[in-house]
Each structure stands twice: as C-alpha cells, then as structure tokens.
Structure 1
Amino acid sequence: MRSLWIQIVLLIIYLFLVFFVSRLLDMVLWYHNAIPSTQIVDPLLLSVRQLKQLLENRGVSYTGYVEKRELAQLVEASAQVVQSEVEELSENSESSDERLPTPPTPSRFRGRLHFYEEVEDTKDSVWLVQVVPADSQQHDAQMDDYSWRVVCNQVAPFAIRTGIFDCKLDRRLCQSKGWHQPLLLLALPKGSKAKDRVVLRTFTSMRPQPIMEWVRDQLSIRVKTVDSIHDLECEWLEEETCNSTTASNSLREVKVLLLTTLLHPPLFLAALSIKFTGRIKFGMFTVKKQDSDSLHKKLKHLDYRMPSYLVITPERKVIYGHRRFEHFNFDSMNRFLRAVQPEMNDVFLGSLIVVNMLVTLQIFQVSMQLWWKHLARCLWILISYNFWLFAVWLLILATYRFSAVNYFVDKCLVVVRTISLTELGCLLRTDWQTVSRYPYIFLSTFLMYSVLAIWLLKRHCAAEAEEESESDHPWWEVLPVDSYWINCFFRPMATLSRPLPPSELELEDGIEMLIERLAVPNLWLQPVIPNEYIKELPIWRFRGWESSPKQCSTVEVSCQSPQAIERLMDGEEQRISCTCSLDTVKFRQSSDKKSDRCSLLPYGLTEPCNCVDVISSKNGLCEDSGDESGSVPGGMLPTSECAVCLETYVWGSVLCGLPCGHSYHHCCIMLWLQQDNHHCPVCRWPTYKAKHLHRE
C-alpha cells in the first residue's frame, strides 16, 4: 500500500511538471510571435487556398463561389477565424507535399457477415460504401479510382468511414438488396437514441461533387432546426418565463446550438451530431434581422458575436471558440465535447492510461538479480494491475443501473463538466492535444522521469531496500501476494493464527506440504508432516543457563502461577539467577517401584512420560534420550520450566529445543510431537522449520 501511494505521488508530480513546462512553452511562443493565439483574423488577409481549406475542414460547400471576397464572407458566416487555426492550417499544408494526400485505406468487405459486423453493428459512426456489381458490363459506369480517392479525402476529416463491397463475393446479398448497378451506400443511425438502428441510404451518381452534397444533406437532417425565437428561448435557452414541459424535461441535457445566417449547418457539426447521438442535442437557428437585437440582449453577457456555437449545460452556458485551440472543425470540437460529456469508454481509456503509468513506475522499482525473476515480477505487476482495473470496471458496469450508482456517476459528470468549462479545463485539453500530437516525446520523457525518480527514491531508502533484498526472499515472492495468502497454501492451518513474514517460508517445505495435502482426503485441514526433522532437534543436559554450578533459572513469580504461564506464552521470559535445592522439587511417584521412576503427566497429554527419579538417580537422564551434550545450543531462550508438564527444570534433566528457541523436557516434547502436533506449544511456530534469529 505504501508503494502504491509513492507511485501515485510520483505520477502527480510528473503531470504537474508537464503542465508547468507547457505553460513555459506557451509564454515563449507568445513572446516570439507577439500575437495571442485567440486573436481573430480577418479572412480577407488569407489566401484563396487557405480560405478553401478552411471551408473544406468545416464542411461548407463553396460551389459557385469564385471571388475571394465571396469565399471570405462564406468563411465568416460559418465561424470566425482565430490565429491558432491559421497556424495549424499552415502546418498541415507544409507537412503534406502531395497535391492529393493519401486517404485512409477503405475497408474491403469479404461477405455478408463482415458487412453486417462492420456497418450495421457500429451505431455511432457513418459509413460510405461503394457497391461494385457482379455484372462486369456495368464496370464502366462505376466510380474510377481517382474520383473515389477524392471522395475519401473529403469525408475523412469528419470521421466518415469508407469501404468497398464487391457483389462477386456475395451475390445473394446484392440480389436481396437490389444492388444491380454501381451505387453508394450511406449507413447512419436512424433515431436520436444511443445505439439506435442503422439505416442505409443509396445514391447512384458517381461524381465527387454531387456525392458530397448528398452526404451533407443526409447528415444535416440530424441537426434540429429551431423555427422561432420563442422555441429558442423555451427549448434551448431555458428561460424562466417558459413553463413548457419540454423545457423542464431538457434541464439535464447538454446542447450545442449554432447561431448563424447560413441555411444549412456545416458538415463537421452534422457529423458530430451522429457521433454524440443520445448524449448531446444539436440544433441550428438561422438568425433573421428582426431577431438579432433581442438575441443580442439575451446573450450579451456571453460576449455574443455572429456566428456563434453556444454550448448549453445544466450548470452554465458558454460560447465555443473563445479559448485556445477551440477551432471550428471536427477534431477540435470533438475533443471539447468529449471533455464536457465523456462516455464510459472515454473514462475507461483514461483510467487505463493512468494505471499503466503506475505500472511503469512500479516496474522500475523492481530489483532482482536474476533476469527471469525480474521478468516474472514485471509481468505479474502488469497483469495484476490491469486485472484489478478490469474487475473494477466490470463491477461498475454491472451496478450502473442501480439508482445509487447512477446518482454517483451523475455527480461525477457534473464535476468533470464544471472543470472542463473553465480556463483550467481548456489548458488541460491543450496539453492533451499536444501530447496526442507527439506521443513519443511524452513516452520518452515519462520513462526518463521514472528512472530518475526511482533512482533518487532508492538512494534515499537504501537501508530499507537492503532489508528487502533478494537473498532473504524465496522465489515466489516475485508475486506480491507475499504474506498471508501464499502461507495459506504452504503452511498448516494451525499456524495461521499467527501470520508470518513470507521470507520465513522455505521452498522445499512448502512444495512438499502441498503434495502431501493433495494425497490425503482432508485436503487442507491436517497436512502430513514428515518426522525426519525430529532427529535434528538439539538435545542437552540441563546444568543451568549460566556457567555457575547448581544454578537454575526461574522467574520472579511462582512457576505454578497463572502469571508465569501467561508471560511464558507471550515470550517474556526473564533470566534471574537463584539457588534451589533438589529435594524441594516434588514428583508424583508412579506405581512402578522396580524402576523407581516418576510419572510426569504432561499438560494436554493422555500418556505419562517416564523419567529417572532425580532424587535417587545421579544423572537424571531418560533412557531414550539419544546423544546429548552438556552445553546449551545457540538460540535457546532461557526458561525455568517445561510448558508441557508445567514442572520446573532440575539439574541434569534432558531438554530438547525447538527452532523457535523454546525448550521442553525431551520426553514431554517427544510425546507432543508424536501426536501430530508439529508446532511449538508456546508460540505455535512450526517445529519443522528454521527461524531466523534477527526476526525475534
């Protein structure tokens, strides 16, 4: 979690740096040009070629207009011209050396299914399809390659997709549709709802100019015409004096209204009405002389000029084109409207970019010595982050119809829309447009920033990184499900009461336990533990925890008191030297008089263990003690009594230690382990697994 927050902070810092550098570049360009990008340019100062390019980008037909003044007036009637739009126009004309640039490659449909999949299933776009008849005698009447290329170039700026359907590939479809001669198909949504049914319009002329006029007329139908000033006030401007039900029903709608002297809307506005079907309402009002004065009074607070593109939201009204990079073409207004009324897919793509930027920052933090471990960890990070992103989005889409979720989404849209209509939102869109133009520069700078930021972070946290070095981690810790869930698969259920660090888990033990679990019926409850490790447990004679003879270790309180047991269970043993005589230790005598042994009944055991009576015996050793030494093994915790039988250690008793450091009577712990209790009675640490001392 801490690493995730570090990544988020680093990402925010990078985005802030991009914003700051962009503002510096804007100041440099403004100082160099000495002309603000939003300054209005007189169209008469432009060349005829520039005027025609502006009209083509806006989708306004200039057929019959020859004089430069006529073209300039037509440009002014469509929209005003700003300095940044002229600069962008000059850059595009310089970058294209060809007189007729290469259009996007048209799709070639392979048959009926491919045609239906591409054309009729995409309900938010427009298709222009050329139908080639199966009869070869009709080929002379069809469109030549040059004319088709001209048409594709003219419709490409408005996101109109093109394709070719050859009836030789599916004669039955052409016969059922009546496509027996060369023609053009225009596929577009029928209604005003999102994902509405697609209708096909046909056109038989094969000349580019009539084709463009036909496409413009068909798409202009989608822009609603406002007939009177009263309808404008009630249905679009939502004046308080209007009490109509239509005004109250459209309070939550986002609308774009063109106020102009043209009789037909530009093609870019009509194409946008198709793309934002069901999300934004588009309209056009042809301003007459008698309505101009009253319209100026209503919109004077918005710096209204003729013509204007009025964007109406439930929160406020703004005029499009007064800020930087708000040009009057399809791409620029599409970017603006997607920020004002984003679609779920737009938000998803934004979240996908942000998450993968976080993935990049996380990958640069991975430091593995072996290349395959490094690659495995990087792949896991990439897959896991994107998996959780998709899981969250699936949950959102599944619960979107609930009223609470829908209400929350609407409030988020209000926040996004409010920010988008401010100057800050305009600057963010400007930066996004710059990043979209030069993606490689953005990617390279982000990678350089990631390397530098992670390098500085690692230098600052060198000590912490050393603790998490690869030598202390098993191979599966390349997967960051490191602590609890991995242990659930590779540790017995009894040990889950105390979650352990993942580095305490050994590979061999974990894999062997997993195989043994699969071999028993009660799969996850009682795994079979091999008993070979018992032979390796340290055994020694108790001669005290210090070098002085006949000294034993005890605690300040009575060994039989509940406080002592409680402190022993918490691992708070204390070493306090005291003298005790052997005759003060009491044992329960067994019925076996021949061996004169004592029967100590361990706590929780059903069978007693037999030890030599230390009062009558000199060595006090169990007969099956094996090889034992007199010195205390390293890592043992000093304690005064056996936590199994609750009896105090006496001089010469045989003790057995566990990997956790706790010690017991050898006989007591052997009976404990033989009953399939493979963990320490005190701390529950597995008795078959070593424990690192530095973690105590």
Structure 2
Amino acid sequence: MDKELYSLLDSRGEVYRRSANRSRLVTLAKTKVTVEESVSPMLIDLESLIISDLKQLLDQRGIMYYSTSTKHDLIGAVNISGPVTTEAFNHMKQMGEPKIGPIHELNAFNIEETVEKHNDSIFLINILPPRLKSSYFNESSWKALRRKLTYMDFKFGELDCDFEKRICLKRKWNISTLYLHTPGKENVAEYYIRDDYNIHRIFTSIQTEINYRITLISSWDTFTSSKWAFYRGSKDKIAVRVILFTNMTVPPMFVSSLSVKYREKVNFGMVNMESNTGRRILRKLKQKYWPLLLVVTKQGILSYGKLPGEYFTYRELDFFLSTLLQDFRPTEKWYHKLSIVLDPTWIGLLIANFVVRNMFMNGIRNEEGNQGNQQDADDVDNN
C-alpha cells in the first residue's frame, strides 16, 4: 500500500519525506487531483433552435417537460442538463427519433422467471386489469411514455389479467397498474392508474425510483476518497467513476439509467452546485463551468463531452463507458472459469463417476486379495 502511494507521488514529482506521517502523504496526494485539459468544443446557439428541436434534446437526456412549456423554459432545461455541441445537434437531426420499443406479451411464468429473476434491463409493464373493473391507461398515454423511455433503453411489456387471473389475484392487480422492475433493487415499484393520472408525475416517479445508484458527494474529502477520485491500487474493484456536477436535484434520466446498467462496474456520483461545498470542489479542480460530467480512471480525470462523439445522451455515454471498461477488464484466472465448465450437472456426473470407479477398483482389489488368500491356503494344504 505504501509503495503504491510513494510511486504515485514520485510519478508526479512531489517532494516529500518517506518518514512523514502516512496521513500527511495521503493528503498531499489528494490535493493534487487535476482534470485533464482539453479544448472547449463549439456549442450551438439554443436560441436559434425551434421548439421541437429543444424538446427532442430533452427527450434524449430524459428530461420531462410540459406540452405548454415556453421556448424560454425549454432552453433553461437544456442548459441545466448539459452542453449541446454543434456536432451533437447535427447527429441528433441525422439520427431522428428512435423506433419505440416493442411490447412483450407476458404471463405468470415469464414475468416471474424472465423479468424478475433473469433480466438485466429496466422493465416497465402495463398491467391490464379485468374488463369493466377499472379505468385504463389509455393507448396514447402508454405510447407517449414508451417513446420517452425508449431513449433510455427501457424494455416494455403487457400482462392481461383476463387471461392471467391467478397472478393478478396473487399480486392484487385489480386496477390498471404500471409495474416497474429495476435490476439490483429488491422491491419493485407499482403505479396505480386512476382517472386523474398524470404522465409527468409518473415519469418523475420512475426517474426517482431508478436513481438509487447515484451517490451525493457532499465534501472534498468524500470526492478524494478511494470510491471516487483517489485509487488505492490493484485492490480497487471499481476502476471507472462518473461524477456529475449539476444544479438539478435529480440527475437526467440518461445518467440514472446507465447507473443501473453499470451498477457493478462503475460508481456514479453527483455534486450539487447549489451548495457552497459543490462550488468549492469545482474550484479545487480548477473548473469554471457546470453542468460538468467527469469520468475518473486510473490514467486521470476526463471531462466528458469535449471530444467528437461525446454527447450528453444515453446511447453515446453508454458506448463511451463500454469501450472504456474494456481497458480495465481484470485478467481471468483459470479457476474463475470452473463455474462455467463445471455446472451442477457436470459436477454431479463427475462425483457419480468417481464413486462408481472407486467401488469398482475396490471390488477388484478385494477379489485379488481373496484369490491370493485362497492360493496361500492351497499352498499350506499341499505342504
């Protein structure tokens, strides 16, 4: 551990005494956290955009807005969620809107086995109650919600209680319900659809539900801890950390969704720029502007969004992280592969084979021993 600390300080040309108290050396290492310098990209003039373009930018980021929102309101929402480069805007126009995700027809078996036990995606399911017993989540609202969540790679399903009465009675699904399965969470979320339902409120509730992997970083000591900007060495299981500096109380849904997808591989944190602590952390990093998305690796701290292809959207940040993680994939030991080769069936067969062979060999030995004893007896009789 100390050797790694000395190596870090030596690589940065720090002057220190090896006899110094270790906590002072750690403090010295932490005070030199720097963000890699890069050229600021060309940002687009949001005032020049039409309302439909501003709404699509917000849809890409998972930011909800009202149909009656003014252009001024939309520009403010875009600005607070992250910069928009000219390249990112042109890319959005070229790609257009994504095709709305398909609906999977579910039943009692696949909702419990496929969705809840063996599924690694965020799944939103529309529970259709018994006919004439409840108000329905109308088709246009369901489609509008799916269109927004498709940007975040949600999966969708429907379960009809007229055909799946048993599970609906078991789960008490007697009114129209939206069922949200979030990987990594023990409890699921259910949203009951009544006559006064509101799409904006449902979207906000979903956003809050999937935000469980985002940690609020409230001090410089926390920021420079081994969970975020400082590395202890090879013992660190999480090699990549993503930290968002923002005024938003809840991060954009594209960040929250990715925090669920990479929950075992990447730490996601947020610094509140409304607080004095948040602005102090930014000053120590010698950064002036926010929102800012930092990606921390063992090679340094990168400011995401300044290079070509780095956009504040789910798809592009997902591609960036998946590519980055390939460089930090641990070398697989030979014994790690045993669980793949030796599944329970194979292990059972091997044990059975060993027992049978052992019994067979013992039988041969016993028989040979008996024959030997008989020969000795014959020799004695002959004498």
Normalised by the length of structure 1, the TM-score is 0.39
CA distance in 1, matches of 2:244, 2:266: 13
Amino acid at match of 2:160: D
How much does 1:260 deviate?
1.0
How much does 1:400 deviate?
2.7
Is 1:202 paired with 2:196? no
Do 1:190 and 1:199's aligned partners in 2 also have CA atoms closer than 8 Å? no
The aligned residue for residue 50 of structure 2 is: 47
Q: Secondary structure at the match of 2:182?
A: strand
Amino acid at match of 1:322: K
The aligned residue for residue 119 of structure 1 is: 115
CA distance in 1, matches of 2:103, 2:228: 42
Residue deviations 1:325-359 (CA, integer Å, cap 9, x gap): 10111000000000111499x99xxxxxxxxxxxx
Do 1:50 and 1:89's aligned partners in 2 also have CA atoms closer than 8 Å? no
Do 2:210 and 2:256's aligned partners in 1 also have CA atoms closer than 8 Å? yes
Do 1:251 and 1:314's aligned partners in 2 also have CA atoms closer than 8 Å? no
Is 1:267 paired with 2:267? no
Amino acid at match of 1:132: L
Residue deviations 1:576-600 (CA, integer Å, cap 9, x gap): xxxxxxxxxxxxxxxxxxxxxxxxx
Alignment of 1:595-614 (within 5 A): none
Q: Secondary structure at the match of 1:216?
A: helix
CA distance in 1, matches of 2:296, 2:267: 10
CA distance in 1, matches of 2:70, 2:164: 49
The aligned residue for residue 215 of structure 2 is: 224
What runs of 5+ residues in structure 2 fail to find an aligned partner? 1-38, 339-383
Percent of aligned pairs with the same amino acid: 22
The aligned residue for residue 131 of structure 2 is: 136
Alignment of 1:243-258 (within 5 A): 250=236, 252-258=238-244
Do 2:228 and 2:241's aligned partners in 1 also have CA atoms closer than 8 Å? no
* Structure 1 counterpart of 2:100, from 57, 81, 103: 103
CA distance in 2, matches of 1:286, 1:64: 28
In the alignment of these two chains, the number of paired residues is 296
Q: CA RMSD in A?
A: 3.2
CA distance in 2, matches of 1:236, 1:160: 28
The aligned residue for residue 472 of structure 1 is: none
How much does 1:248 deviate?
10
Distance 1:215 1:38, change over 3 A: same
Amino acid at match of 1:298: K
Residue deviations 1:279-308 (CA, integer Å, cap 9, x gap): 1111111123634653344323xx663111
What runs of 5+ residues in structure 1 fail to find an aligned partner? 1-35, 192-197, 348-395, 403-696
The aligned residue for residue 315 of structure 2 is: 331
Residue deviations 1:221-245 (CA, integer Å, cap 9, x gap): 22112233432233555459xxxx9
Amino acid at match of 1:202: E
CA distance in 2, matches of 1:260, 1:112: 42
Residue deviations 1:559-587 (CA, integer Å, cap 9, x gap): xxxxxxxxxxxxxxxxxxxxxxxxxxxxx
The aligned residue for residue 292 of structure 2 is: 308
How much does 1:117 deviate?
3.1
Amino acid at match of 2:61: R
Q: Secondary structure at the match of 1:270?
A: helix
* Structure 2 counterpart of 1:288, from 261, 274, 279: 274
Distance 1:170 1:328, change over 3 A: same
Distance 1:167 1:64, change over 3 A: closer
Do 1:65 and 1:71's aligned partners in 2 also have CA atoms closer than 8 Å? no
Normalised by the length of structure 2, the TM-score is 0.69
* Structure 2 counterpart of 1:279, from 252, 265, 278: 265
CA distance in 1, matches of 2:276, 2:149: 36
Amino acid at match of 1:337: L
How much does 1:131 deviate?
0.7
The aligned residue for residue 173 of structure 1 is: 167
Q: Secondary structure at the match of 1:114?
A: helix
Amino acid at match of 2:60: N
Q: Secondary structure at the match of 2:92?
A: helix
Amino acid at match of 2:241: K
Do 2:292 and 2:303's aligned partners in 1 also have CA atoms closer than 8 Å? yes
Do 1:56 and 1:154's aligned partners in 2 also have CA atoms closer than 8 Å? yes
The aligned residue for residue 215 of structure 1 is: 206
CA distance in 2, matches of 1:149, 1:70: 25
CA distance in 2, matches of 1:53, 1:268: 14
How much does 1:257 deviate?
0.6
Do 1:256 and 1:310's aligned partners in 2 also have CA atoms closer than 8 Å? yes
The aligned residue for residue 151 of structure 1 is: 145
Q: Secondary structure at the match of 2:132?
A: helix
CA distance in 1, matches of 2:145, 2:327: 30
Residue deviations 1:127-167 (CA, integer Å, cap 9, x gap): 0001112x32225x011211111111111110110100112
Distance 1:37 1:157, change over 3 A: farther
Q: Secondary structure at the match of 2:158?
A: strand
Residue deviations 1:361-403 (CA, integer Å, cap 9, x gap): xxxxxxxxxxxxxxxxxxxxxxxxxxxxxxxxxxx7964369x
Q: Secondary structure at the match of 1:256?
A: strand
The aligned residue for residue 33 of structure 1 is: none
Q: Secondary structure at the match of 1:136?
A: coil
Do 1:37 and 1:324's aligned partners in 2 also have CA atoms closer than 8 Å? no
Alignment of 1:447-526 (within 5 A): none
Do 2:218 and 2:277's aligned partners in 1 also have CA atoms closer than 8 Å? no
Distance 1:259 1:159, change over 3 A: same
Amino acid at match of 1:87: N
Greater C-alpha Rg? 1
CA distance in 2, matches of 1:326, 1:116: 38
The aligned residue for residue 185 of structure 1 is: 179
Kindly indicate whether structure 1 or structure 2 has the higher relative contact order, using CA contacts under 8 Å at least 6 residues apart. Answer: 2
Runs of 4+ with >4 A deviation:
247-252
Residue deviations 1:650-679 (CA, integer Å, cap 9, x gap): xxxxxxxxxxxxxxxxxxxxxxxxxxxxxx
Amino acid at match of 2:76: Q
Is 1:400 paired with 2:313? no
Is 1:68 paired with 2:75? no
Q: Secondary structure at the match of 1:41?
A: coil
The aligned residue for residue 637 of structure 1 is: none
